[in-house]
């Protein structure tokens, strides 16, 4: 407990314990009616329970992928593959396969293009994650990966992060089909659907009022979501933006996309590339936290930080 500063005559103000956990309409401070207080407390407890459930669901998904990866190869005491034949049979991307990733950068790009966050509940998505992860681990054991391999890993990790978020939001292939619209704009929607989400995924006012495809909802940066919703859909190619965001589109200054280095829902783990900022300046305009996160990760790689013009709209036309 903080002590009062009597000499200055100032009384420190701070949130009470229940206020730290309470969202809008859930703070029972000053509410004298016992039933009303109990109702608010119950809603907070239910929200915390849902948050724990989502965290467990995401962890279970990650554990499942790790288990699937282990099924694709056997690592002995010398950290080498014991059964190459088994790996070849179960992994179509092995050296003997005509579709091997390492045989052609163009081939691997084509395979990755079919990997989308719009099929989060499909077996093929889980299988692809398992197979690609196994291949990536094999490449790691071989030594320093080639530039194309690193690029593929970045693209894979970004899409995989969006898949995890989509699954945590109970989105399915059906609810993510091309003509689908986000359920957040449904009149009278139960707020419990999104109250349990992390702060970075809490819907903005625009998400609750502007009709849009649910792929926007899985982007863990509120500023980007709002920028997309403020833009007339007729003025840009949504499919192209989605591909570029995941780094699958070749642009003048390289592969434009986003990178993820931490938990999918943690905004501090996301980074935009210079190529993406040049091609899509309006998407990241005003996203100061993303700008800080980007320069943090660039500094970690001993790269020069980007100028603030990238998020101030100075590159927008």
Q: pLDDT (tens digit, 9 = 90+) per residue, 80-110?
A: 222 232 222 233 333 433 344 444 344 445 5
Residues with pLDDT less than 70, the chain:
1-32, 47-48, 50-113, 144-148, 188, 190, 249-256, 313-317
Stated as kind and residue range, the H or E segment containing 254 is strand 254-260
Ramachandran quadrant class, 56 (left: phi over 0; alpha: psi -120 to 50; beta: rest): alpha
Alpha-carbon distance of 147 to 109, in angstroms, equals: 13
Enumerate the H helices of the chain as residue ranges. 17-21, 34-72, 84-90, 105-113, 123-142, 147-168, 192-195, 205-209, 222-230, 238-245, 274-279, 281-284, 288-300
pLDDT of residue 135: 78
Residues 6+ apart with CB under 8 A from 181: 211, 212, 213, 214
Closest CA to 269 of 260, 258, 278: 260
Report phi then psi at 203, rounded to 5. -65, 145
CA–CA gap between residue 242 and residue 177 (Å, rounded)? 14
């Amino acid at each position: 407990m903080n002590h009062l500063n009597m000499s200055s005559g100032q009384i420190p103000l701070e949130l009470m314990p229940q206020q730290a956990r309470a969202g809008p309409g859930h703070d029972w401070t000053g509410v004298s009616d016992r039933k009303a207080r109990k109702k608010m407390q119950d809603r907070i407890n239910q929200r915390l329970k849902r948050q724990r459930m989502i965290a467990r669901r995401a962890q279970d998904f990650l554990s499942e992928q790790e288990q699937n990866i282990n099924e694709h190869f056997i690592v002995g005491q010398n950290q080498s593959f014991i059964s190459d034949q088994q790996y070849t049979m179960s992994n179509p991307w092995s050296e003997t396969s005509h579709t091997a990733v390492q045989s052609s950068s163009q081939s691997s790009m084509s395979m990755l293009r079919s990997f989308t966050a719009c099929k989060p509940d499909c077996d093929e998505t889980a299988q692809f994650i398992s197979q690609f992860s196994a291949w990536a681990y094999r490449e790691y054991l071989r030594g320093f990966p080639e530039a194309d391999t690193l690029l593929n890993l970045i693209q894979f990790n970004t899409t995989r992060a969006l898949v995890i978020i989509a699954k945590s939001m109970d989105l399915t292939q059906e609810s993510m089909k091309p003509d689908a619209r986000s359920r957040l704009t449904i009149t009278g929607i139960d707020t419990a659907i999104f109250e349990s989400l992390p702060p970075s995924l809490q819907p903005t006012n625009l998400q609750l009022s502007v009709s849009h495809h649910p792929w926007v909802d899985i982007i863990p940066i509120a500023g980007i979501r709002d920028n997309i919703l403020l833009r007339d859909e007729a003025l840009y190619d949504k499919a192209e933006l989605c591909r570029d965001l995941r780094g699958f589109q070749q642009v003048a200054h390289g592969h434009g996309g986003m990178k993820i280095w931490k938990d999918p829902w943690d905004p501090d783990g996301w980074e935009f590339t210079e190529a993406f900022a040049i091609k899509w300046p309006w998407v990241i305009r005003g996203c100061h936290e993303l700008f800080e996160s980007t320069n943090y990760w660039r500094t970690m790689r001993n790269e020069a930080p980007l100028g603030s013009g990238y998020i101030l709209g100075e590159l927008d036309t």
